[in-house]
A = this chain, B = another copy of it.
Amino acid sequence: MARFLKSREESDGKSPGSLIFIGDQKVDSANIRLIDYDPESLTDKELKDIHVTAHLKDTPSVTWININGLHDIDMVQDIGEVFELHPLVMEDILNTGQRPKLEYFDNYIFIVLKMVRFDKTTETIINEQLSMILGRHFLLTFQEQPREIFGPVRERIKKQMSRIRKTGTDYLAYALMDTVVDNYIYSIEILGEKIEDLEEDILSDPDTSVMEKINSFKREINYMRKSIRPAKDAIYRISRLDSEIIQEPTLPFLKDLEDLTSHATEAIDTYRDLLTDQLNIYNSVMANKMNDIMKVLTIFAAIFIPLTFIAGIYGTNFEYLPELKYKYSYFIFWAVMVTVAGALIVYFKRKNWF
C-alpha cells in the first residue's frame, strides 16, 4: 500500500458519509474509557455502552471519552448518534488516512491530528490518527490503538490541585494536543540527532550505507512533515475561532502550542535542507575519491607502460639489433628507465597528484 497516501478506494461511488473503516485493525476489541471530572469530583471507568454517557454531554463537568480501536463501526455509529455528529465527521474518524485538519460545526470542533513515533528498530516513523471532538462540556478522542501517551495527562487529572482540574474541556484538549506536539519535537530530535551524526560518516567513511541512510532519513522526515505541517494550520485556526467552546484563559496556552508547532515544522525544514546538503557533500566526496582512484591508476599506468615498452624493444628478436651487443647496454637500459620513471614522478609531483 502506498505509504504516503491511503485512498478511499473502497468507498468509490459510495455515498459520502457512509461509514467504512479504512486502515489496519490494530486492536482486538475497541474500548471506551470515560473520565468525568470537575474541581471536586472525578469518575474514571471503562464503558461497554456509550449511551450511558448521553446525559453527561451537557453537564458542566468535563466529560472525556476516549475510544481505542476504530474497526467497530457500530460503536462509532452509536457515538455519532449520542453526540449528534455530522455524517462526514464520522466518516473521517474511521478513515485513518485523513490529513490533519480542523472543522468547525455549530456545537463542536472536529480536530484530526497525527501522533508520530520514531520506531528505533526499523528507524521509521510510525503514524497514528487522533480524532478529537471538542464540545462545550465534552471531549471525544479516537485512537487507532491504546497507547500510553496520554497517561501523564490522566495522572494530572487525578491530582485535585492541578490546573487541569480547575479548567474546562478546552484546556483538556490543549493538554492532549500539547502532548502530541511534544512528541513531534521529541521524534524530530531523535531523528535529527541521527541526521547530524551522519555528517561525520560522510566525510570520513562514505560508503553506500551512508547514502542509503541519507535517503531513508529524508523519506522519514518527509513523512513526518506530511503529518505535522497541516497540524500547524489546524492549531493556528483553533485560537482564532470565535467560539464559546474555546475560553479566553486557554488562549495563551494555544498560542504557546502554535509556537511549538512552528518550532517543529521549522526544525523539519532545517533537517530536510541538511539532508539535501549532505547528499551534495556525499556526491562531492565521491567525486574526490574517484579523482584519487584515477590518479593512482594514471600514475601506475603512465610510469610502467612506457617502461614495459622499452623492455619490449629489447625483447625483440631482430637479428641485427646493435644495442644488444654492447657490454654496458643493460646498465644503460636501466639508467634510461630510471630516468624516465623519475621524470614522470617529478611531473606528477608538480601536478600535486601525490
Contacts and interface: CB of A to CB of B under 8 A. Distances in A.
Interface of A: 1-9, 11-17, 86, 88, 92, 99, 101, 103, 105, 151-153, 155-156, 162-164, 174-175, 178-179, 182-183, 185-186, 188-190, 192-193, 196, 199, 203, 205, 207-208, 211-212, 215, 218-219, 222, 226, 230, 252-253, 255-256, 259, 262-263, 266-267, 270-271, 273-274, 277, 279-291, 293-298, 300-302, 304-309, 311-330, 333, 352-353
Identify whether the interface residues of A are mostly helix, strand, loop, or mixed.
Answer: helix
29 contacts: A2-B189, A5-B263, A7-B185, A9-B182, A9-B186, A9-B189, A12-B186, A13-B152, A16-B175, A17-B163, A86-B252, A88-B252, A88-B253, A207-B288, A208-B288, A211-B288, A230-B266, A279-B280, A282-B284, A283-B283, A287-B287, A290-B294, A300-B301, A304-B309, A309-B311, A312-B315, A316-B317, A317-B321, A320-B327
Contact of A11 (B182, B222, B305, B320): B182
Nearest to A307: B309
Nearest to A4: B270
A316 B324 CA distance: 9
A287 to B, nearest CB: 5
B291 A301 contact: no
Contacts of A252: 86, 88, 103, 105
| 5 nearest A-B residue pairs (beta carbon) | A13-B152, A311-B312, A314-B316, A2-B192, A297-B298
A329 to B, nearest CB: 5
A253 to B, nearest CB: 6
A315 B287 CA distance: 40
Contacts of A271: 4
